Amino acid sequence: MEDDEEVARGFDKIIDIDQSKDVWVLVVRIVDLWPVIGKYKSEHLEMIVKDVEQDFPDIPMTSFNFKDFGEVLAGKHRRDLLVDVIGAFQEVTNTNRGNGRLRSITFTLKDASGNILHCCLWDDHAKLCADEFDKFDGTQPQPYVILVKHARVKPEQDIRPIGNLKRPLFAAPYPLCFTNTWDGTRVMFNPPLLDFALFKEKFKDLPSDALSLSQIASQYSQASQFSQNTDIMCNTPFSQHKNFI
C-alpha cells in the first residue's frame, strides 16, 4: 500500500534524495554501467544514473569525462578518481610477455593540443589492443583515435634497486601514464561517436609527422616477436621514442 501511495504522489528526483525517508520512487536512465571485480574476486556492478527528462533526446546515450593531458602533465590529477581518455595513437613503446602470453602493452597517445602521454594496459585489455594493432596495414584512417573509458592516472616512478644481490638489478623508470582498472575499463578504437568526430576535427590543425601507420605496423610486428619481458615494470630501461604521427 505504501508503494502505491508513493507512485500516486509522483516520482522523486535524484537531487532531492536525503535521509528524510526510506522509500524513493525514481525513474532514471542508466548512462554508464561497468563491472568491477574486487581484490578477492567478488564482482559487482557500478553505474551512473540520470533523471529521465521531458526532453528525452537531450539525454546522451554515453557521457564522457575526458581528462586534459596538460593537467596530468602538470600534476593536476588524483589516483583515486577514474577518468576518460581520448587521443591519437602514436606508437607501441613496450610489450611485456610472460609464460607465453601478453601481460601488458604500452603505447603513446597525443591529444588535440599536441601533448603526449603513455597508456599502459594489462591482461585482457592488452590483448584487445594487440589484436587491434595487428590489423594495421597502412590503410587505417589517420589520426587513429583510441578512447579509454574509466582509466586511472599512474604517477611516474624512479629507478630503484631490486634485491640484495652483490650486483643488484634495477627496476626501469615507469613513466607517467594512464592505465586500466580491474574490469571497469573499456577501450574503443575509432567508434562512430560524436566525441571522436569532434576530436578529429580539432586534431587536424596540428602539424603532422612523417611516421605512418604502415611504419608503426612494421615496428609493432617486430616488437611483438619479443619473448622476454620488455615492459617498463621490468629491468629493461624504458624506451623514449621521438617519432610520432
Cell numbers linked to 60: 546522451
Indicate if 52 and 161 belong to the same structural domain.
no
Average of per-residue pLDDT values in the chain? 75
164: in domain: yes
Between 195 and 8, residue with greater pLDDT: 195
Q: Can you tell me the distance from the alpha carbon of 111 to that of 156, in angstroms, rounded to the nearest whole number?
A: 19
Q: Which domain holds residue 46?
A: 2-58
Does residue 243 belong to any structural domain of this protein? Answer: no
Same domain, 50 and 78: no
Q: Same domain, yes or no, for 47 and 19?
A: yes
Quote the cell numbers at residue 105. Answer: 602493452
Residues 6+ apart with CB under 8 A from 117: 69, 72, 73, 87, 108, 109, 111, 176, 177, 178
Q: What is the CATH number of the domain that holds 85?
A: 2.40.50.140
In this structure, are residues 191 and 62 in contact, taking their beta carbons and an 8 Å threshold? no
pLDDT band at 99 (very low <50, low <70, confident <90, very high): confident
Residues whose CB falls within 8 Å of the CB of residue 156, separated by 6 or more in sequence, listed in order:
173, 174, 175, 176
Q: What is the pLDDT of residue 11?
A: 83
Residue 241: pLDDT over 60:
no
Establish if 177 belongs to a structural domain: yes
Assess contact for 67 and 77: CB atoms under 8 A.
yes
Structural domain count, the chain: 2
154 pLDDT exceeds 80? yes
**Do 129 and 26 belong together in one domain?**
no
What distance in Å separates the CA atoms of residue 54 and residue 28, rounded to the nearest whole number? 12
68 confidence band (pLDDT: 50, 70, 90)? very high
- Write down the pLDDT at residue 71: 95
Residues 77 and 186 in one domain: yes
Contact 121, 180 (CB under 8 A): yes
Regarding whether 201 and 100 lie in a shared domain, the answer is: yes
Nearest to 187 by CA among 245, 130, 115, 228: 130
Instruction: Give the C-alpha separation, 95 to 126, whole Å.
Output: 9
Residue 236 has pLDDT above 50, yes or no: no
Q: Domain boundary residue among 34, 58, 82?
A: 58
For residues 109 and 35, membership in a common domain is answered with: no
* Residue 229 belongs to a domain: no
Residue 63 forms part of a structural domain:
no
Residues found in the chain: 245
Q: What is the DSSP letter of 16?
A: G
Q: What is the DSSP pairing of strand 43-51 with strand 83-98?
A: unpaired
pLDDT digits (tens, 9 = 90+) for 209-226: 655 565 565 555 555 544
214 and 132 fall within a common domain: yes
Question: Residue 56, class by beta-carbon neighbours within 10 Å (0-12 exposed, 13-18 middle, 19+ buried)?
Answer: exposed
Do 80 and 188 reside in the same domain of the chain?
yes
Domain boundary among 58, 82, 102: 58
pLDDT number for residue 129? 92
Q: Is residue 64 in some structural domain?
A: no
For residue 233, is pLDDT > 50? no
140 & 174 share domain: yes
Q: Is the pLDDT of residue 65 over 90?
A: no
Cα 196 to the center of its chain, rounded Å: 15
The verdict on 141 and 162 lying in the same domain is yes
Mean per-residue pLDDT, 2-11: 56
On whether both 95 and 170 belong to a single domain, the answer is yes
φ, ψ (nearest 5 deg) of residue 125: -65, -35
Q: What is the pLDDT of residue 237?
A: 38
Q: Rounded to an integer, what distance in angstroms lies between the CA atom of residue 31 and that of residue 20?
A: 27
